[in-house]
Amino acid sequence: MREVSIVGIGSTSFGRHAGTPIEHLGVQAAAQALIESGIDREQIGALYLGNFISGPLNGKEVLAGLIADQLGLPNIPCTKVEGACASGGIAFRHAVLAIASGQCDAALVIGVETMTHAPTAQTTAALNCAMDNEHDGPSGLTFPGLFGLAWRMHAQRYGTSREQVSAVVRKNKRNGLHNPLAQMGADLTDEQIAASAAICDPLQLYDCCPASDGAAALVLVARERASASAGGRPLPVDVLASVQTRGSARIAGHADLCSFSATVSAAQQAYAQAGLSARDVDLVELHDCFSIAEIIDSEDLGLVPRGAGGRWAHEGRTDLGGTVVINASGGLLAKGHPVGATGVAQIHEVVRQLRGDHPNPVRNARIGMTHNLGGTGVACTVSLLGARG
């Protein structure tokens, strides 16, 4: 298998893009990535597009082909992949595989979603398609509800407190304030978080990511074609590992509701693939769809000792300047979560860090990680990226 590098990135801001067709967001992000890469469109051998619910919310499918049309791509395979919130991460992995296997030398990855135009009831119904509706749907469970179930257990087993979880919210909202791509950065107090509306006990409004519109894109090439620094372009960032795993689609299929087995196995495989350990990771963009998810993910990825996720966040050890920097972008909580775009946008953020070009810089960052989790933990991708130079 050949090694793969990232040579171009692009992104729209995350937030409300009212009236902008979903294709246009994808096209804007992709055009940025293509132009930055300097790769001619004729050399792009495949497009993988991460998107979850363009059908139910926009009445549009064959989205990869629709976007390829507007980008003027050649007659290459253009494929939409879907894995709920992990759609973007899965699209990235497929592009990595296409290059690694020799099917093509360059590939384009796009992640895109638009959600804010739809009534909340319609969005909720569409998102709930990512649940096992033969088993969990009939109980009236929601996605915030799933994380309410997990939080309750985490609190019981490890003593995780409201204050510790609020530290995650405050950190990510604060990081979002300095990220121009972020939808809702804020300077929050514990009191404001604790006073926000109850959603699904113990989750409150500030514990939940917003509905968002946005797109991100990447150009990948075979590493032997990624020249050190051609024509003043940014240095390539190398893909050291790209892993996708499956977990249970049912709540009842999870042996431990304080952990997602798909994350644990994806992280273990990624470390093995890259010949690295959790200690080597300088920063991670992980799937904080809800505040408690960041705590669980940080433990599942091996970055924080099991059960200590809340304490580490509260002690600032996951903040900028901490032991391992988690979600310097603001994460899903503050940057936003245009579902299919998220996995691609996480890689966009890490690439900027590894190039030394990020509004919330992690000093001397060499190794970055991304973690994208879909549905009830049914699909997961983990990537490890390395800086050049």
Q: Is 200 a catalytic residue?
A: no
Nearer to other proteins, 42 or 256 (CB): 256
* Residue 27 CB coordination number (10 Å): 24
Distances (CA, A) of 70 to 13, 73, 159: 20, 8, 52
Structure tokens at 326: 């988690």
Strand order through the sheet with 283-285? 78-81, 46-50, 106-113, 214-222, 4-11, 237-246, 379-386, 367-374, 283-285, 325-326
Q: How far is the CB of 158 from other proteins (least distance, A)?
A: 13
**Under DSSP, is residue 319 helix (H, G, I), strand (E, B) or coil?**
coil
Q: Smallest distance from the beta carbon of 146 to other proteins, in angstroms?
A: 8
Q: Report, in Å, the least distance between residue 134 CB and other proteins.
A: 4
* Closer of 196 and 323 to other proteins (Cβ): 196
**Considering just the CA atoms, what is the radius of gyration of the chain in Å?**
19
Q: Which residues would be at the binding site for other proteins (CB under 8 A)?
A: 121, 124-125, 128, 134-136, 138-142, 144-145, 148-153, 156, 197-203, 250-253, 257
| Least gap, CB of 254 to other proteins (angstroms) | 8
Q: How far is the CB of 84 from other proteins (least distance, A)?
A: 16
Q: How far is the CB of 381 from other proteins (least distance, A)?
A: 24
What are the two backbone dihedrals, phi and then psi, of residue 252, each rounded to the nearest 5 degrees? -65, -15
Q: Please say if 208 is a catalytic residue.
A: no
| Distance, CA of 78 to CA of 75 (rounded, Å) | 8
Is 294 in contact with 288 (CB distance < 8 Å)? Answer: yes
Q: In this complex, which beta carbon is closest to other proteins, that of residue 108 or of residue 257?
A: 257
Q: What is the DSSP string of 179-192?
A: -TT-S------HHH
Amino acid at 262: A
Extract the runs of DSSP E, i.e. beta strands, from the chain: 4-11, 46-50, 78-81, 106-113, 198-200, 203-204, 214-222, 237-246, 283-285, 325-326, 367-374, 379-386
The nearer residue to other proteins, 202 or 377, going by C-beta atoms, is 202
What is the crossing angle of helices 261-274 and 291-300, to 10°?
50
Give the residue from 178, 12, 102, 93 showing the smallest Cα distance to 385: 93
Q: Which of 337, 348, 358, 371 is catalytic?
A: 337
Least distance between other proteins and beta carbon 130 (Å):
13
Looking at the Cβ atoms of 57 and 203, the one nearer to other proteins is 203
The residue (of 201 and 224) whose beta carbon lies closer to other proteins is 201
Of 85, 104, 258, 380, which residue is the catalytic one? Answer: 85
By C-beta, is 142 or 346 nearer to other proteins? 142
Q: Looking at beta carbons only, is 225 or 250 nearer to other proteins?
A: 250
> Minimum Å distance from CB 144 to other proteins?
7
| Residue type (1 letter), 385 | L
What size, in residues, is the chain?
389
CA distance 180 to 17: 15
Instruction: Give the pair of three-digit tokens for residue 165.
Output: 């979880």
- Which residues are annotated as catalytic? 85, 337
